[in-house]
Amino acid sequence: MAEAHERLGWNLEGLRRRLEPYTRALMEQVALRVEELQEQLRVVGEGTQAQLLGGVAEARDLLQELQSSLVHHTGRVKQLFHPYAERLLSGIGQHVQELHRSVAPHAVVSPPRLSRCVQLLSHKLTLKAKALHAGIQQNLDQLHEELSAFAGAGGAEEGAHPDPQALSQEVRQRLQAFRHDTFLQIAAFTRAIDQETEEVQQQLAPPPPSHSAFAPEFLPEDGGKARSRLQARLDDLWEDINYSLRDHDPGHGGEP
């Protein structure tokens, strides 16, 4: 049992390593696109500051140009993230299937149970990857709305001159908040991969009885849930025992 636990753990660690480049690429893209937006949406510079100081009409024209630029560049960034989301989804499907092929020859559980567990893992990771992509898109939508609202408010008052320093600082702060929030979401997705793969290891090759994680805990507030999990484990164990008996029965010549 200990050997099976360690072997499966090694295979699951391989899955985590193979998925790392996809999440790392997402984080690199977030940082890169924030830098690009900071440059493209920069409103304070030698020429820009001169325009802002030129008069109310010039300032309003600049703010309208800024809003148009926000629409264009945030929309472009949203499109640029789509291929990375597709690669992540494709990578999950590919590498989970590779995990299945690697684990199958040495699995201590029945093939149907192994298939169910692997399919469920793929399904869960796919849903979480889609949620991550949707979260990044929502962050970009929020960034666009916040910056557009701020740019629109900059010259809302009659005869008011927008403060170039305040405008520049607001853009920078909003972009940094977008990067921070998106990094947290990617980190949460990475932790979810760890949690889901650890759960697979517990289901397919639990640690030896001497391990503290082997014994189920019945807490007062979730005793029913714990009993349900235990019943599911017992059902799985019975299926594995039947499979093992059929597999090692000299007189067994096929399915009953």
What pLDDT, on a 0 to 100 scale, did the predictor assign at position 219? 45
**pTM for the complete prediction?**
0.75
What pLDDT, on a 0 to 100 scale, did the predictor assign at position 140? 92
φ, ψ at 13 (rounded to 5°): -65, -35
- In order of their start, the domains of the chain are 2-214 (1.20.120.20), 216-256 (no CATH)
Cα distance between residue 99 and residue 145, in whole Å = 42
What pLDDT, on a 0 to 100 scale, did the predictor assign at position 70? 74
How far is CA 191 from each of CA 26, 194, 199, 237, rounded to the nearest angstrom? Answer: 15, 5, 12, 28
pLDDT under 70: residue ranges of the chain: 1, 42-60, 62-63, 66, 150-165, 208-256
Do the Cβ atoms of 205 and 4 come closer than 8 Å?
A: yes
Do the Cβ atoms of 78 and 143 come closer than 8 Å?
A: no
What pLDDT, on a 0 to 100 scale, did the predictor assign at position 184? 93
What pLDDT, on a 0 to 100 scale, did the predictor assign at position 151? 63
How many CA atoms, within 13 angstroms, populate the side-chain half-sphere of residue 145? 6
Cβ neighbours of residue 94 closer than 8 Å, sequence gap 6 or more: none
